[in-house]
């Protein structure tokens, strides 16, 4: 029996959904390990995984819109939404990186406990 090929945008949507699920699990593991293990680096990494979920959500939305067929207002279809979403995701990630950097600078000047040894295993995720 011949399998039908999925449209590339549908494949991208499925991949994006899987990425969101994996990022959600990573947020939980890294945030819990960071909090319990006093590792601010893991908490920042959990924040970055949260930014991944938001940017993947934007991508998912853009891919769904891009799949719409042409209509009266968009005679050539909705494919132009993909580059616009890429710009939005880029700006969002720059903002998230700036947020992490600002908070990191604040944590550098404050003394903290050393992270627990088990947090090293969480860093490998």
Dihedral through CA 88, CA 93, CA 96, CA 97, nearest 10?
-150
Q: What is the pTM of this model?
A: 0.72
Confidence of residue 32 (pLDDT cuts 50, 70, 90): very high
Tell me which of 10-19, 25-34, 73-82 is least confident: 73-82
DSSP string, 71-82: -SS-TT-STTHH
Residue carrying the six token digits 């990022």:
23
Q: What is the mean pLDDT of residues 29-52?
A: 88
* pLDDT greater at residue 15 or residue 122: 15
Tell me the two tokens of residue 13.
């949507």
Structure-token pair, residue 8: 């590339």
């Amino acid at each position: 029996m011949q399998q039908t090929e999925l449209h590339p945008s549908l494949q991208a949507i499925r991949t994006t959904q899987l990425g969101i699920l994996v990022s959600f699990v990573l947020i939980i593991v890294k945030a819990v390990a960071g909090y319990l293990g006093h590792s601010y680096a893991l908490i920042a990494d959990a924040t970055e995984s949260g930014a991944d979920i938001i940017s993947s959500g934007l991508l998912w939305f853009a891919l769904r819109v891009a799949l719409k067929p042409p209509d009266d207002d968009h005679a050539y279809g909705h494919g132009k939404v993909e580059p616009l979403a890429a710009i939005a995701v880029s700006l969002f990630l720059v903002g998230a990186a700036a947020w992490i950097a600002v908070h990191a600078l604040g944590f550098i000047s404050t003394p903290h406990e050393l992270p627990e040894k088990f947090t090293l295993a969480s860093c490998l995720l």
